[in-house]
Structure 1
Amino acid sequence: MATTPTSAAVSHVGKIRANNQDSGYAGAHLFVVADGMGGHAGGDVASAIATKRIAEADTEYPSVRDAEFALQQALIAANSILAETVFEHSELTGMGTTVSGILRVGNQLALAHIGDSRIYRFRDGELTQITADHTFVQRLVDSGRITAEEAAVHPRRSVLMRVLGDVDASPEIDTGIFDTKPGDRWMLCSDGLSSYVADEKMSSILATVRTAQGAADRLVKESLDHGAPDNVTVVLVDIDDSGGASGIAPTFVGSAAMPLSYENDTSRRPIRLPTLLLHPLKATQPEDSHFEPEGEGYLEELIEEDRKRARRRRLVWLIVLVLAVAAIVGGALGAYAWTQSHYYVGESHGRVAIYQGVQQNIGPIHLSSVYQSTQIKVSSLPAYQQESVAATINAESLRNALDIVDRLSAAAGG
């Protein structure tokens, strides 16, 4: 961890993973975040190699256009080095890395981006995501097939459509030029932050913590407080009036700050009990990001597979709904049948009657009806029997109800 007056870089392994596959760089003009891909196949190696190669572009440029071109070429060169490394170390096949970087030239920034690490701009109290994620779920969001909320829990949210590595000799890299002004705060981060800390919380920290180092530390701590299932890296750049270099020594964090090791990492840090108890959902092992080709044919296959999964999910829910409704209807019919096996004696239009059912009602639904009316006038009964009939007399069976009616008839002189 290190700091400059106007920038800071912080990286943390998180609470679950055994090694840090993120890398970060804060220099005089250049700032980079890379998130390694490939799990124990070499994600840490990929991010470190790419970050160190791209850091060579940290110098002054005569124009922001020159800086944009240089940054793009640095990413392409890093991609070639990664391919060569895999050729020499076949055990690293499939490794790759996301990269998001900015180069400052006066009051402008040149940007280069590939993958799902992100670049944000915090200006006048508003946090804006500048880069777009190169992921399968982002494609679905952009095409209107799913919402951003659904993307956060989608089973293919870890599928990357563009990365640096041995998978594509000519990767498509997003570039751009942006104006800056004093007071702007630019943030580069891996998805270990953006996937677990809400934009509102990030914005609050960026607005209230004055120093770049303090804000970067707070952002990483916020991810840790949410269980930090993934590595998390944050690089912050505060724009001041100088428009020039900070004059502070360049700083690497994460894997790029460690000696390169080509040994496979086959273990993960065990989940600690406090983490599991405090964050039972976010403390689960995060699925490793992996690359899938961006060709339209394969993308359509993924979309069709997603449609089939959605149809299966709807079918399952429909079956569950039908079974639930059937159970409710069956229970209601069973309960109603039970009520109709009971009888009682009461009054109907001033005469004694036998009712089938029970005395209670459910809202407008009556659970009893007149089974048999008699000619016995309630007024002809002794006073105490009139009260009994008015309050209803329970019968154990229809036969018992008929016996009660016979006794009442005798009492009435019938």
Structure 2
Amino acid sequence: MVFQGSSAALSHTGKVRSNNQDSGYAGSNLFVVADGMGGHAGGDVASSIAVSRLAELDRPFADTADAERALQRAITDTATDLIDTVRTRPELAGMGTTVSALLMVDDYAVIAHIGDSRIYLFRDGALTQITTDHTFVQRLVDSGRITPEEARYHPRRSVLMRVLGDMDPDPEIDTFIMPTQPGDRWLLCSDGLSGVVDDAHTQKALAAGNAPARIADVLLKQALDGGAPDNVTMVIVDIGGHHPVFSGTPAIVGSASNPSGIEVPAARSGRSSWLHPGRQAANEPTHYEPAPEFLEELIEEDRRRARRRRVGWFVGFMLVLAVIAGALFLGYNWTQTRYFVGADDDSVVIYQGVQQSIGPISLSSPYEDTGIALADLSPFDRQTVESTISARSLADAKLIVSRLAPIGEDG
């Protein structure tokens, strides 16, 4: 059955990058975002190859299992295409791409994913990230070593653990099937969007009742307002709804929209990289897949960062304790400059401190027993003393005591 709904695809270079290495595709049944990497032209070529290969699947499938196998096979074939391309064009060595693909089959979404582009589902007012980032920091989050919020600003957040590249002919791809329903809104995006616009703002934009193209414009503006340091690509897919259904012409955006126009500069002599000696280095890649020994260094670096954080927290905690202790010390010293007159069993006593207590700790202590019996005081004075009488100083406290009137004496 042909997918019933509406969609929109949008891609922008961003405010920092000189070229767009992302590609996006929104067709009749298939929706894809690919974030390329690998220098000035390598990323363009890689994401274009991925979209071109996957576009062959934009057709109805008999069942979800068949569609899932087709997605898996097409992405694996894309890895082979990348390897073959580098053999004939060595200046593109090191190129790669993420792939996040959504294939609609009846009332189900068949999903395939590798890399750190993302697929979100907005349903019943809630936004859920469906895919898991294949990144170094995501492993740190999964192991409980950092929080998701820390991951957003981690210096290694762009290090990919799994990517579709020119070195692995059999990449590990996440595939799964989810039921979908009318009213669902799906978002596929590169990290140029998800790394700048947080989930709260994304959810607010998706919650609006606008058409997918309008939502894409809103999210792009938020990414640009946030600096857009990377290419920004998104595909928004509505299930059912009141907006027009697919028109019959797929929307292709980013580098895949004009693959024949990609110019591949000649490789620079005398330059090499740690991964590919002949790698084109016109632009630094936005992502890369590190070698195992480099991962060990990253893990050790993260351990050092964790130790520094623990030391920082401990020092900060001790400073807070010192400030609290200092404040308590100064506060207690101030209380000891105060006096009041009160009762102790059966006599009048001058107390040093204040009448309050902190839990079981009293902030006063007997300073002088005056020797005046409570029984010798008038009922009014006895009640006043038992309720305590505050004094400005020790001399003031003694003056208060001297004015107390025992029974039988004139006031």
TM-score under structure 2 length normalisation:
0.68
1:92 aligns with 92
289, 292, 307: which is aligned to 1:291?
289
Equivalent-residue separation in structure 1 for 2:314 and 2:30 (angstroms): 54
Unpaired stretches in structure 1, ≥5 consecutive residues: 267-284, 333-360, 367-389, 391-414
Report the secondary structure of 1:6's partner residue: strand
- For 1:237 and 1:124, the matched residues in 2 are separated by 15
Q: Report the residue type matching 2:12 in the other structure.
A: H
The 3-state SS of whatever aligns with 2:188 is strand
Q: Is the 8 A contact 1:45 1:261 kept in 2?
A: no
Local SS of the residue matching 1:290: coil
Task: Sort the Cα spacing of 1:256 and 1:96 in 2 relative to 1 into closer, same or farther, 3 A.
Answer: same
- Residue 59 (structure 2) pairs with residue 59 (structure 1): yes
Q: Aligned to 2:299, which of 283, 303, 322?
A: 303
Contact 2:8 2:237 in 1 (8 A): yes
1:129-144 matched pairs, under 5 angstroms: 129-144=129-144
The alpha-carbon deviation at position 71 of structure 1 amounts to 1.1
Q: Deviations over 1:59-81 (max 9, x none)?
A: 12111111111111111111111
9-18 vs 299-308, greater mean Cα deviation: 299-308
Against the structure 1 CA distance between its residues 62 and 241, is the aligned structure 2 distance closer, same or farther, given a 3 Å change threshold?
farther
Give 1:302-321 correspondences, 5 Å limit: 302-312=298-308
- How does 1:308-387 map onto structure 2 within 5 Å? 308-312=304-308, 365=333
In structure 2, what is the Cα distance between the partners aligned to 1:8 and 1:195?
20
The answer (yes or no) to whether the contact 2:33–2:188 under 8 Å persists in 1 is yes
Q: Distance in 2 between matches of 1:310 and 1:81?
A: 41
What is the CA distance between 1:91 and its match in structure 2? 1.7
Give distance in 2, aligned partners of 1:110 and 1:321: 49
Q: 1:286 to 1:132 in 2, by over 3 A?
A: farther
Contact 2:5 2:237 in 1 (8 A): no
Which segments of 5 or more consecutive residues in structure 2 lack a partner in the other structure?
269-282, 335-394, 396-411
Paired with 1:102 and 1:363, the residues of 2 have a C-alpha distance of: 65
Identity of aligned residues (%): 57
Aligned partner letter, 1:197: V
Q: Which amino acid aligns with 1:184?
A: D
Aligned to 1:148: 148
* CA pair 198-309 structure 1, distance change in 2 beyond 3 A: closer
The aligned residue for residue 206 of structure 1 is 206
Matched with 1:171 is 171
Q: TM-score, normalised by structure 1?
A: 0.68
1:230 offset after TM fit, Å?
1.1
CA drift of 1:185 comes to 0.7
Counterpart Cα distance in 1 of 2:125 and 2:180: 15
Corresponding residue for residue 253 of structure 2:
253
> In 2 relative to 1, CA 90–315 (structure 1 residues): closer, same or farther, beyond 3 Å?
farther
- What residue in structure 2 maps to residue 412 of structure 1? none
- Does the residue aligned with 1:42 lie in a helix, a strand or coil? helix
2:24 aligns with: 24
How far, CA to CA, are the matches of 1:211 and 1:57 in structure 2? 25
User: SS where residue 291 of structure 1 aligns?
Assistant: coil
Counterpart residue identity of residue 290, structure 2:
E
Q: 1:205 and 1:53 mapped to 2: Cα distance?
A: 31
Task: Tell me how far 1:288 sits from its aligned partner.
Answer: 2.0
Kept after mapping to 1: 8 A contact 2:118/2:132: yes
2:79/2:164 contact within 8 Å kept: yes
Q: Counterpart in 1 of 2:362?
A: none
Whole-angstrom CA distance in 2 between matches of 1:363 and 1:62? 78
Q: Distance in 1 between matches of 2:216 and 2:178?
A: 22
1:265 to partner: Cα distance: 10
Find 2:264's aligned residue among 252, 262, 265.
262
| Match in the other structure for 2:81 | 81
CA distance in 2, matches of 1:265, 1:303: 33
Mapped contact 1:117–1:190 kept (Cα < 8 A): yes
Looking at structure 2, the residues matched to 287 and 89 of structure 1 have their Cα atoms a distance apart, in angstroms, of 18
Give the match for residue 160 of structure 1: 160
Alignment check: 8 A CA contact 1:230 1:286 kept = no
SS at match of 2:169: coil
Structure 2 contact 39–285 (Cα < 8 Å) conserved: no
| Count of aligned pairs | 310
Question: Is the contact between residue 5 and residue 239 of structure 2 (CA under 8 Å) also seen in structure 1?
Answer: no
Is 1:135–1:158's contact at 8 Å kept on the other side of the alignment? yes
How many angstroms apart in 2 are the aligned matches of 1:320 and 1:200? 31
8 Å contact 1:189–1:235 — kept in the other structure? yes
Provide the aligned C-alpha RMSD in A.
3.2
Q: Deviations over 1:96-142 (max 9, x none)?
A: 10000011111111110000000011111111110000000000100
Q: Distance in 1 between matches of 2:36 and 2:311?
A: 38
Which is further off, 90-99 or 233-242?
Answer: 233-242
Between the aligned partners of 1:260 and 1:170, the Cα distance in structure 2 is 27
1:48 and 1:260 in contact (8 A); partners too: no
- Aligned-pair CA distance for 1:312: 4.8
Q: Distance in 1 between matches of 2:225 and 2:262?
A: 30
The letter of the residue matching 1:62 is A
- Structure 1 residues 370-397: Cα deviation after superposition (integer angstroms, max 9, x where no partner): xxxxxxxxxxxxxxxxxxxx9xxxxxxx
Residue 289 (structure 1) shift = 1.3
Counterpart-to-counterpart distance in 1, 2:118 and 2:208:
21
Which residue identity lines up with residue 85 of structure 1 in the other structure? T
